[in-house]
Structure formats: structure tokens, C-alpha cells
Amino acid sequence: MKAAVQNDYLDTYYLASAQPPPATAALRGALTTDVCVVGGGIAGCSAALTLAERGYRVTLLEGQRIGWGASGRSGGQAIFGTATEQAELEQLIGQEDARRIWDVTLAGLALLRQRIERYQINCDWVDGWMLAAIKPRQWSEIQAWQADLVQRYGYASTRLMDRAELQSTVASKRYIGALYDSNSGHLHPLRYTLGLARAAARAGVDIHERSRVDGYVRRDGRIHVRTAHGAVDCGQLVLAGNAWLGAAAPSLERKLMSIGSYVIATEPLGEHPVRKLIANNAALCDANWILDYFRRSSDHRLLFGGRVNYSLLNVRAVAPATRARMIQVFPQLRATRIDYAWGCLLDITLNRAPNFGRLEPDVYFLQGFSGHGISLAGIAGQLVAEAIAGTSERFDVFARIPHRNFPGGMLLRRPALALAMLWYRLRDLL
């Protein structure tokens, strides 16, 4: 089971099957550009790509490597909506604006597919996603939710799978029913992120990896972004570092909590055995608060994730527990070897809604994807590029979502949230 670091990336299954290019040069010295984008994940690469195609000079700064964070290590599930249910968004910003956000999330899935095709990104895209119920209460909630999606939002790509159909599709007796969505799906997240970066570079974006941003200052009406060995003078700044932004914008940190999520990859199981596990090749996550998620890989492995924690435990300590959860779902894999285990930090907000906005009129931020970043981060990059170009209607809808700081301050908020999540773990067991 591998957990070392290679070529500045964590040694994940995604790295082993992606073959990223050599690192670009770190920023040294000073340069001038129209827009500086901080963060080389999906959101940052998407923003840089969109801006460059609109004719802007763009510099992208990444503290590690492109796709080093959650963008290149996540479960790879691209899902409609946000991590906050539509009913909660309606309470926060009203029905009309909540509907606009819904429409943006669907545009995000369409944009993802368009970019895969346009830029010929080989990222193993597969249509299909299932949300599975373990308990009767969850199944009742899923059925009501699916009816609401159809009746109120006209979302016609979902359907219900009863116990018999689900258990003939997924070789597990753990689930009693599911919502299936043909519009959502899954992909290889590192290949996808690297594909966006390649497209951005071809469009003229100047990318500098290993160039962590220490902060920025305003001088003579311009923004000056600092790294350890260089500086960027720009007219507009986009902060898309999410869980890893840190010193670049400390005020944003209070609105975020970084949580650890963990993924394991089995040995190759063979095409026929892995098809027996998930016959329709869709991704699946369960309806628990502390959820499991899994899918097939293109080389016939099972990728299984979950085991969220708020104390940022070392992946070596958590990997056996993740494997135990996999065996709870698929007891037939008890003797299967685990080839890779890794973790990633996800940035969540207190209300689980995305947090986009401006620190100043020319300083934008994108964060708080709360587990929905594969699709939502891509469209977020497009929205911020639209706003910089002078069309900010879609971006401003997200900026109207109210966000509170996590309670307990920087010192106590993590223990407080860990206690809260203990309650949700207990609720999952009831």
C-alpha cells in the first residue's frame, strides 16, 4: 500500500495513472499581468483558461503542483446541485436566486462535458451517479427529494431504483433504494485538472508551480502579489486556493473548515469481477451524514472513499478503517489487496453552500465547494472570469449567500466541530 511522495505529488492511484508533466518554473523576479490567479486546482485553472480565451494576460501561481490538492485527489464524482439542499438555499437567499444557483450547477456539468470534448481531455468520464439509502428514513427522504426535483425544478434526468433493481446493479445488501442521475457522473480528477491547465497554457496563461503566495499589497492603484522569490503586479486578483490559501488571505480562513477525506484503491480486480460489483459503472455515495462513496476505475479497480474526520489524522492511521468500511459494503472483497491509500483536504463552509465574493472590488475569491468541486469549481472559474470582464450577474448571486464564521475561533472550532460530527455519526447508526 503506497503513501509516499513522488515528484511533489502524493503517491496516489491518480498520480500513477496520470503521468503529469515536469513542473513549470517557479516564479523568480517581478512580472506584470492583467489578472493573477492563485491556485492551480480546477477553479483556478478554469478561471485562468476562461480569462485567457477572452484576451486577458493571465499569470497562475500554484504553491505545489497543478492538481496537488483536492482537485487531483478527490473521489472524482461530478454531481448536480450544491452540498446545501435547494430548500436551505431558498431560506438563505430566496426562491428566485436559489433557482439561479441551481441553473448554474447544471451549466457546470454541461461545461465539464464541453471542455472534455473541446480540449480532448482523457479523464475517463462516465455518465451516472447514485445516491443510496441504507435506512427507511433515508429512502423516504430520497423519494420526496426526487419528486421535488421533477415537480419544482423540472429535472428529468433522475429516477428511483427500488431495492430489487439496486441490488441487481450493486453487489451489496447494504442499500434499500437509490436515486439515479444520468446527468451526473465521475472522472479521473487529476487528469481532468491537468487537462484544464494544458488548455490554459495553450491559451497563453503563464503558469508557475512551486510558487506559494505569501500575501498581497496595494501600491499605486495596482495589486502586488508576493511569493518567496518573486512578485506579480496585476490589475485583478483571483484567490482560488481554497483549503490551502492560508497566509494569502487570512480573513477568508474563518469562513472555512478543512476536513480530511480518504480514498483507497484496490488491486485490479479484472473486468468481469468489477462489473459484478457495479453493473452500470455509475458512481455511488450513501445518504449518511458521514458518507461512503465509491466507483470503478478504467483499469477495473474499486476506488472507495469516505471516513471524513476533523482532526486531520494521518492517512496511514485512517486507511485500515476505510478498508473496513469497504468490506462492510462488499464483504466479498475481504481478501482483496489495497494498492493505494491517500487523503485530501476539502474546504467546507458552515452552511455547506459555496462561498464566492470579493475582498475588494478587484480581488475575487472562490472557496467552500464542500465536496461538490469537480463540477462546481469549473463553472465558478467561468463566473469569476465573467465578473472581471464586466458581466457579474451569475457571480453576484453566489456572493449574496450569507456565510458565518465557524464558532470557537481558530483555536477551538475544530474540536467543537468534531464533537458535533460525533452526534451525526451516532445519528447514522440509529
And the C-alpha cell for 202? 495553450
The candidate with the shortest Cα–Cα distance to 378, out of 54, 105, 42, is 42
pLDDT at 201: 98
pLDDT at 244: 82
pLDDT at 251: 82
- 154 neighbors 123 (Cβ within 8 angstroms): no
And the C-alpha cell for 232? 506579480
* Low pLDDT (below 50) residues in the chain: 1-6, 412-413, 422-424, 426
Residue with cell 419528486: 147
pLDDT at 3: 43
Kindly list the structural domains of the chain, giving each domain's residue range(s) and its CATH number in brackets, ordered by start. 5-73+191-255+351-416 (3.50.50.60), 126-184+258-348 (3.30.9.10)
The candidate with the shortest Cα–Cα distance to 195, out of 69, 67, 108, is 67
pLDDT at 423: 43
And the C-alpha cell for 361? 472590488
pLDDT at 294: 98
H or E segment and range at residue 149: helix 136-153
Give Cα 55 to chain centroid, integer Å: 28
pLDDT at 425: 52
Structure confidence by residue, pLDDT tens digits, 108-160: 999 999 999 999 999 999 999 999 999 999 999 999 999 999 999 999 999 99
